[in-house]
A and B are shown apart, each in its own frame.
Chain A
Amino acid sequence: MAKHETPLLDELEKGPWPSFVSDIKREAASRAKNEKNVEFQIPAEVCEDLLGVVELSYHEGETHWKHGGIVGVFGYGGGVIGRYCDQPQQFPGVAHFHTMRVNQPSGLYYSTDFLRQLCDLWEFRGSGMTNMHGSTGDIVLLGTTTPQLEEVFHELTHKFETDLGGSGSNLRTPSCCLGMSRCEFACYDTQAICHEFTNVYQDFLHRPAFPYKFKFKFDGCPNCCVASIARSDLSFIGLWRDNIRIDQEAVKAYIGGEIPPNGGAHADRDWGKFDIQKEIIDLCPTKCMWMEGDTLKINDKECNHCMHCINAMPRALRIGEDRGCALLLGAKAPILDGAQMGTLIVPFIKVEPPYDPIHELIEKIFDFWMEEGKNRERVGETMKRFGLAKYLEIMDLKPDPRMIKEPRANPYIFWKEEEVPGGWDRKIEDYRSRHQM
């Protein structure tokens, strides 16, 4: 019989969707049985007590967690998030219930052996419950006690050859899409740069000195599979600056129905014959595509890299060959100020090791934000407070029309006197000689 009655949580097991309650109950039953004779280093009833305390909170409508603390591993200012229960007598299994964030491998590639050993470690020294993956991308190990933190850290660094991830006012664990390892749309090697930046900015990951959190995310193309445009302070979105490559024979094959559109996705019902006009050309956001007879034409200068045509006809249309990425700054979720999407600050930059121009820009971004950012202010809010024009000037970046949605909608750049021939002084007679009225 369950240690705590959980009628409210049981409701969450009804319905067709997966339930975290069922998962926790399964782990609770597994720990109670302990078929592998694990010498649990934290209370065996941790999962039972977790269900109990959550049920109590649902019942009362208030939390029984105390969040935060000094817990961590020696020398690190991140990677461990302290959590305690304020009802330790009633729920001793979760009196300490700290979270550990573990740096995930780039592209989330694991061997089954790695995962099995990680799960074994966490059954032994933690609750056995994980979150694969947290919104930062980390492997999240949920629930352990203070004495286990150093033990787990030692295992992770010595046996698993990985490290803790970021938390608090640190650089957060960089994350990337799986990029060139499996995706033909990748415009740069996201895994390589993600791994490199994780190492280069290691000290910012573990030793907090920022006003608040800072996230890098690397998307190989504008499909944005890791949602960098919405979730990262500095977003890297793969792009090409030449032309989309067209295989006209394959275009004809799509039109003729020999190749299924969208890589064969959405095939569970009959959508009718593929209509290139309706499904591709009319949906182009910049209207830069048209058919001339049976030949597809694209005015690439107008293309805004929305990816729709390439996603729909991947065998006919391919990304260009002059590839790099755009950099967008300041996306964030709504904590202090409202939610923001990233603002384009570099329309195109090559992404090639050793990434020197990118490092130079990052150094400027960090320096300025650490100097001028207010406590708990994200870099996007600092940029907004100073204004885009001023911020670009400080970053030594040239304003570019691509940074705004449309001309004259946002007078974000003002001329300075030294930039105008003749400055602000003018002779009205001279002006009137050309403008009588």
Chain B
Amino acid sequence: MDEAAARQAIIDGMQAKKGKSKFYFKDLNSMIPEMKTLQVKKLLGQMVNDQILEYWSSGSTTFYGLKGAGKQHSGEGEE
């Protein structure tokens, strides 16, 4: 799988989950099983830098979300 296809798979996978805007790293990792975990980590970092994704952190746990999707700040677990 090339990088563009992997990026699209992540975006499609996130959009397909209706009502869910924040994802664990593991959820995204499983969307592109062909890629190694550290490669996925790097790719997600690049997608954050490209402002496609954004981090959401409660302080103890970090999630990934599509930029601008869902609540931008709220209590943990409050979707």
- A interface residues (Cβ-Cβ under 8 A, vs B): 66-72, 74-75, 77-78, 80-82, 84, 99, 167-170, 203, 207-213, 335, 367, 370-371, 373-376
Contacts and interface: CB of A to CB of B under 8 A. Distances in A.
Contacts of A203: 41
Interface in B50-79: 54-62, 65, 72-76
B10 interface: no
19 contacts: A67-B58, A67-B76, A68-B56, A68-B57, A68-B58, A68-B73, A68-B75, A69-B56, A70-B73, A75-B48, A81-B59, A82-B59, A168-B57, A207-B44, A209-B25, A209-B41, A212-B60, A335-B60, A375-B24
Contact-residue bracket for chain B: 20 to 34
A387 to B, nearest CB: 22
Contacts of A74: 49
A99 B58 CA distance: 12
Contacts of A71: 73
B32 to A, nearest CB: 13
A213 B54 contact: no
Contacts of B49: 74-75
B37 A168 contact: no
A167 to B, nearest CB: 6
B45 interface: yes
B59 A208 contact: no
Contacts of A170: 62
B26 interface: yes
B25 to A, nearest CB: 5
Contacts of B62: 77-78, 167-170, 208
Contact of B57 (A72, A207, A371): A72
Given A66-B75, A375-B24, A209 B44 contact: yes
Contacts of A69: 56-57, 72-74
Given A169-B62, A208-B62, A67 B26 contact: no
B75 A72 contact: no
Max chain B C-beta neighbours (<10 A), residue from A78, A209, A212 = A209
A213 B25 CA distance: 13
B26 A78 contact: no
Nearest to A213: B60
Contacts of B45: 75, 77, 207
A158 B49 CA distance: 21
Consensus secondary structure, chain A interface: loop
A207 B75 CA distance: 22
A209 B37 CA distance: 8
A304 to B, nearest CB: 34
B37 A70 contact: no
Contacts of A84: 73
B39 to A, nearest CB: 11
Contacts of A374: 26
A28 to B, nearest CB: 25
A169 B25 contact: yes
Given A70-B54, A169-B25, A371-B37, A77 B73 contact: no
Contact of A167 (B37, B54, B57): B57
B58 A168 contact: yes
A244 to B, nearest CB: 41
Nearest to B26: A375
Nearest to A371: B37
A209 B27 CA distance: 11
B57 A370 contact: no
A209 B62 CA distance: 9
Nearest to B56: A70
A211 B26 contact: yes
Contact of A77 (B26, B37, B48, B75): B48
A153 B47 CA distance: 21
Given A168-B60, A209-B38, 6 more contacts: A66-B74, A67-B59, A68-B75, A70-B56, A78-B62, A208-B25
Contacts of A213: 60
A145 B27 CA distance: 31
B61 A168 contact: yes
Contacts of A82: 57, 59, 73
